[in-house]
Amino acid sequence: MLELAIIGGGPAGLSAGLYATRGGLKEVVMFEKGMPGGQITSSSEMENYPGVAEVKSGFDFMMPWQEQCFRFGLKHEMAEVVRVKRKDNHFVIVLSNQQEVESKAVIIATGGSPKRSNVKGEDVYWGKGVSSCATCDGFFYKNKEVAVLGGGDTAVEESIYLAKICSKVTLIHRRNAFRASPVTLERAKKEEKIEFLTPYGIEEICGDASGVTGLKLKNLENESLKEIKVDGIFVLIGFNVNNSVLIQEDGSTLCAMNEYGQAIVNLKMETNIPGLFVAGDLRMDAPKQVVCAAADGATAALSAIDFIEHHK
């Protein structure tokens, strides 16, 4: 039986692996369905990890993380986990090849991915003016004009965040009413740099070799067309959490989850199931930043070491 199984090899999973192995656990396996590194490997520029002054691609940034973990004894199994189940006082990891692996404790760090709008031009300019994270990329548009697509809390909050950095923020939403909380919406309306454009949809994200240059928009009430010039567009229409490993055969969930399908954890990354920890973008209220996911992974590993020590 493993001492610790880590599901997912992004910043949270790798950081958990580092702390678990350096902390003395012997049988630690990280199950990752693809190359370790996580979502950030799809980013062309990463410049907000404290202490790393050099701007790197997400892929280059993450490569040393796995090397460092493997040096301390973390084992990597390239496998997709279908489900994590509870059995007596331990866990069973079910892999997509039907193999089952038992473990005393489990850290789930399967992350997620931002939802895409599938608008024409989105794929072409993804990472070249189209972004899903204002905290990550807002600074690249200092004193420039940007647009935000979305109508929920994230879209409105990130518009307020961007208004502090950019010269203008056009908030585009397909309905006149917003899902965002009234308080957040009021704050956004008081922000002079934010222009509300509703009920509009994006017909096309336009650009050239330098990246995004503008948007073709359609008024969804009267079908009139409009073009605006922007240097960037933030698509903030939701986030898919990879929580399928927590769903049991009868449809119930292994641990308590909130209305967004995120795992409910405390500050030790403990779920309501003893020995089961969740770290990174899969947990409730995750800031969705590499540094935060890494910190969660370290915290979860320290909690797992403590759990195993007290359940010998």
Ligand X SMILES: Cc1cc2nc3c(=O)[nH]c(=O)nc-3n(C[C@H](O)[C@H](O)[C@H](O)COP(=O)(O)OP(=O)(O)OC[C@H]3O[C@@H](n4cnc5c(N)ncnc54)[C@H](O)[C@@H]3O)c2cc1C
Catalytically active residues, by annotation: 133, 136-137
Q: Does 8 bind ligand X (CB under 6 A)?
A: yes
Instruction: Indicate which single residue of 169, 235, 290, 298 sits in contact with ligand X (rule: CB under 6 A).
Output: 290
Look at the chain and count its residues. 312
Identify residues 92-111 at the interface with ligand X (CB under 6 A): 109-111
Q: Does 288 bind ligand X (CB under 6 A)?
A: yes
Separation between Cα atoms, residue 137 and residue 194, nearest integer Å: 18
Identify residues 20-79 at the interface with ligand X (CB under 6 A): 31-34, 38-40, 42-43, 46, 48
Nearest to 10 by CA among 111, 106, 84: 111
Separation between Cα atoms, residue 4 and residue 30, nearest integer Å: 9
Identify residues 223-262 at the interface with ligand X (CB under 6 A): 242, 245
Residue 311 half-sphere exposure toward CB, CA atoms < 13 A: 15
Q: Based on CB atoms, which residue is closest to ligand X, 247 or 273?
A: 247
Identify residues 126-165 at the interface with ligand X (CB under 6 A): 132-133, 136
- Alpha carbon dihedral 187, 193, 194, 195, in 10-degree steps, equals 140
Q: How near is the Cβ of 82 to ligand X at its closest, in Å?
A: 7
Q: Does 270 bind ligand X (CB under 6 A)?
A: no
Instruction: Indicate which single residue of 28, 29, 69, 81 sits in contact with ligand X (rule: CB under 6 A).
Output: 81
Q: How near is the Cβ of 123 to ligand X at its closest, in Å?
A: 12
The single-letter DSSP state of residue 220 is: T
> 216-222 — which CB contacts under 8 Å span 24+ positions?
217/172, 220/174
Backbone angles phi, psi at 6, to 5 degrees: -115, 125
Nearest to 205 by CA among 150, 123, 127: 123
In three-state secondary structure terms, 85 is strand
Q: Based on CB atoms, which residue is closest to ligand X, 124 or 291?
A: 291
Q: Based on CB atoms, which residue is closest to ligand X, 31 or 277?
A: 31
Q: How many chain residues interact with ligand X (CB under 6 A)?
A: 37
Q: Does 271 bind ligand X (CB under 6 A)?
A: no
Q: Does 212 bind ligand X (CB under 6 A)?
A: no
Separation between Cα atoms, residue 198 and residue 204, nearest integer Å: 16
Q: Based on CB atoms, which residue is closest to ligand X, 242 or 303?
A: 242
Q: Does 188 bind ligand X (CB under 6 A)?
A: no
Separation between Cα atoms, residue 142 and residue 163, nearest integer Å: 10
Cβ neighbours for 105, distance < 8 A, ≥ 6 positions apart: 3, 4, 5, 91, 275, 276, 277, 304, 307, 308
Contact range with ligand X by CB under 6 A, out of 63-71, 161-169, 197-205, 282-290: 282-290
Q: Based on CB atoms, which residue is closest to ligand X, 228 or 276?
A: 276
Q: Based on CB atoms, which residue is closest to ligand X, 214 or 280?
A: 280
Q: How near is the Cβ of 25 to ligand X at its closest, in Å?
A: 19
Separation between Cα atoms, residue 78 and residue 80, nearest integer Å: 7
Residues making contact with ligand X (CB under 6 A): 7-13, 31-34, 38-40, 42-43, 46, 48, 80-81, 109-112, 114, 132-133, 136, 242, 245, 280-281, 288-291, 293
